[in-house]
């Protein structure tokens, strides 16, 4: 904890892969190696100096086991299927980085270290945003080609953090507003519908967790409508300033009506890809159980060829052969790991989001000053970008995104466990107001209603604050100072 190089290791851990790019197949691999090695080395260094939890946590154990099942199970499937080793390692690397990021984030870091980790992650994503945009423009070509390269792989993660500042924390600064405007402009230039859908989903999620009661939900909803109207106005203003971009958006939205089949080609290719992955996986009992493996080849399902009439020839259609992580995270996990090794990771992510968001809403209403609550809120919105990104692609198909999602998951699980323990200690300080949880000591803040505390051998300690909590030391921040992690991630100005 007192290691004087800790901040340096944090920068070396998160910054190099923010400069990641997709080079040509013939390009030297040295640059890629130099990007990964510092990250892995710094991650190991942070693990060596990280503090350890003194208490067990069911949620932490569950998520850790799910991640290990995914990684270790992939080696078992690789032995069974015998895929190309190089392709297997390339596809698996983002998942390994996610595991490393999770282990780094899932530790009881003190307040100073938590703020450093969050700030380094934030600024690394800002660097990734501008680097991806500049690198994409430098590659040249028309907007139709460049638009695929100007979007950062952690684009929605950054938007999630900014939405936390605006919607949840209700903080506005010149820099945060400017950054969000930049993301909106890049989103419009990319002409990517799935990104727009992802932003809307994150906005709705931020509004929901910021409203712990119906009254607050109505207020947040009204504020969300106002912000949404402002963003819509910005979109129309940008369309007026850049008519070419507006024309591309019109083509993308109404392109299906101009095709012979009347169906959107992008959607059809995604469905064709998922259908082939599903058919391969369900082809045998072994593949259903263990999957086809990361890096396994897949094509487009022939059943979708008629829907692409006039858009793709039969020769080009059957020439498709891919091995990279597919465009759908959920189906690809089943394809790569089957029931045994593929479903654990998606279930763990969804469970952490569900349990963490429900707990956050309760704790925000009953104990808004509790330590680490803002850290939990920001981690929720960063991790929520994973399912939001999966609308249009596989969020774990890139190395930097895998690393950021891993850190966010680790911060979420660690913060949840620490707040849950704080709530148990606070409730224990006033036994008259204790209430037993419905799901055990570490799995959630759901209660059937106020009930008198009756001690007994089966009694579990509750996790959330009673209606009239007794004061307990070290659970809340100094009234004259902001709570841990509550300071904005970007300078005020």
3-state DSSP of the chain? CCCCCHHHHHHHHHCHHHHCCCCCCCCCCHHHHHHHHHHHHHHHHHHHHCCCCCCCCHHHHHHHHHHHHHHHHHHHHHHHHCCCHHHHHHHHHHHHHHHHHHHHHCCCCCHHHHHHHHHHHHHHHHHHHHHHHHHHHHCCCCHHHHCCCCCCCCHHHHHHHHHHHHHHCCCCCHHHHHHHHHHHHHHHHHCCHHHHHHHHHHHHHHHHHCCCCHHHHHHHHHHHHHHHHHHHHHHHHHHHHCHHHHHHHHHHHHHHHHCCCCCCHHHHHHHHHHHHHHHHHCCCHHHHHHCCCCCCCECCCHHHCHHHCCCCCHHHHHHCCECCCCCCHHHHHHHHHHHHHHCHHHHHHHHHHHHHHHHHHHHHHHCCCECCHHHHHHHHHHHHHHHHHCCCCCCCCCHHHHHHHHHHHHHHHHHHHHHHHHHHHHHHCCHHHCCCCCCCCCCCCCCCCCCCCCCCCCCCCCCCCCCCCCCCCCCECCCCCCCCCCCCCCCCC
| Residue 56 exposed, middle or buried by CB count within 10 Å (0-12, 13-18, 19+) | exposed
Rounded Cα distance between 435 and 175, Å, is 44
What is the full per-residue pLDDT of the chain (493 aa) written as tens digits?
467 889 999 999 999 999 988 754 445 578 888 899 999 999 999 999 999 998 888 999 999 999 999 999 999 999 999 999 999 999 999 999 999 999 999 999 999 999 999 999 999 999 999 999 998 888 766 666 677 788 999 999 999 999 999 888 888 888 998 999 899 888 888 878 888 899 999 999 998 898 876 666 666 666 666 666 666 666 666 666 666 655 555 565 555 555 555 567 778 888 999 999 999 999 999 999 999 999 999 999 998 888 877 777 788 888 888 999 988 999 999 999 999 999 999 999 999 999 999 999 999 888 888 889 999 999 999 999 999 999 888 999 999 999 999 999 999 999 999 999 888 887 777 665 555 444 444 544 443 333 333 444 333 333 334 333 333 333 444 444 444 444 455 543 3
CA dihedral 96, 98, 104, 109 (to 10 degrees): -170
pLDDT of 210: 87
Query: Are 306 and 282 spatial neighbours (Cβ–Cβ below 8 Å)?
Result: no
pTM metric for this prediction: 0.85
Q: Are 373 and 336 in contact (CB under 8 A)?
A: no
Handedness of CA 358, 329, 388, 42 (dihedral sign): positive
How much is the pLDDT for 329? 93
What is the spatial distance between Cα 297 and Cα 276, in angstroms, rounded to a whole number? Answer: 10
pLDDT of residue 260: 52
pLDDT for residue 86: 92
Pairwise CA distance, residues 279 & 283, whole Å = 6
- Cβ-in-10-Å burial (0-12, 13-18, 19+) of 162 comes to buried
Q: Which token pair is 43? A: 């991650």
Listed in sequence order, the residues at least 6 apart from 290 whose beta carbon sits closer than 8 Å to its beta carbon are 73, 76, 77, 80, 81, 337, 338, 340, 341
Q: Is-contact 445 394, C-beta < 8 A?
A: no
């Amino acid at each position: 904890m007192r290691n004087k190089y800790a901040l340096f290791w944090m920068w070396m851990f998160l910054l190099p892969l923010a400069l990641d790019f997709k080079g040509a197949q013939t390009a030297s691999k040295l640059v890629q190696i130099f990007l990964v090695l510092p990250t892995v080395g710094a991650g190991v260094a942070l693990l060596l100096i990280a503090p350890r939890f003194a208490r067990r946590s069911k949620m932490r154990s569950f998520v850790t086991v799910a991640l290990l099942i995914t990684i270790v199970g992939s080696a078992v499937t690789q032995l069974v299927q015998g895929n190309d080793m190089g392709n297997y390692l390339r596809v698996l690397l983002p998942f390994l980085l996610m595991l490393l990021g999770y282990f780094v984030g899932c530790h009881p870091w003190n307040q100073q270290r938590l703020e450093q980790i969050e700030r380094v992650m934030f600024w690394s994503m800002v660097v990734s945003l501008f680097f991806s945009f500049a690198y994409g423009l430098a590659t040249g070509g028309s907007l139709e080609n460049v638009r695929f390269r100007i979007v950062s792989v952690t684009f929605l993660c950054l938007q999630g953090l900014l939405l936390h500042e605006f919607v949840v924390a209700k903080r506005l600064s010149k820099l945060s507003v400017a950054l969000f405007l930049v993301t909106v402009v890049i989103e419009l230039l990319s002409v990517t519908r799935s990104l727009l859908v992802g932003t809307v989903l994150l906005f709705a999620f931020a509004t929901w967790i910021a409203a712990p009661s119906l009254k607050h939900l109505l207020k947040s909803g009204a504020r969300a409508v106002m912000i949404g109207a402002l963003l819509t106005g910005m979109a129309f203003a940008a369309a007026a300033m850049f008519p070419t971009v507006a024309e591309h958006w019109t083509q993308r939205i109404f392109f299906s009506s101009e095709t012979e089949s009347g169906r959107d080609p992008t959607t059809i290719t995604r469905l064709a890809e998922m259908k082939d992955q599903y058919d391969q996986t369900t082809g045998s009992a072994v593949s259903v159980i263990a999957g086809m493996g990361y890096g396994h080849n897949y094509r487009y399902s022939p059943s979708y060829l008629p829907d692409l009439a006039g858009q793709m020839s039969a020769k080009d259609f059957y020439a498709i052969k891919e091995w990279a992580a597919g465009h759908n995270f959920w189906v690809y996990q089943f394809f790569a790991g089957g029931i045994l090794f593929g479903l654990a990771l998606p279930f763990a992510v969804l469970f952490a989001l569900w349990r963490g968001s429900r707990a956050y809403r309760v704790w925000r209403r009953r104990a808004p000053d509790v330590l680490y609550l803002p850290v939990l809120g920001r981690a929720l919105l960063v991790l929520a970008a994973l399912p939001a990104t999966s609308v249009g692609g596989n969020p774990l198909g890139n190395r930097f995104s895998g690393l950021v999602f891993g850190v966010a998951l680790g911060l979420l699980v660690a913060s949840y466990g620490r707040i849950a323990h704080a709530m148990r200690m606070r409730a224990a300080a006033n036994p008259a107001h204790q209430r037993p949880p419905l799901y055990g000591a570490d799995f959630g803040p759901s209660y059937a209603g106020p009930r008198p505390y009756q001690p007994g051998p089966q009694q579990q300690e509750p996790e959330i604050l009673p209606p009239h909590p007794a004061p307990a030391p070290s659970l809340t921040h100094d009234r004259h100072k902001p709570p841990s992690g509550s300071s904005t991630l970007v300078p005020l100005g």
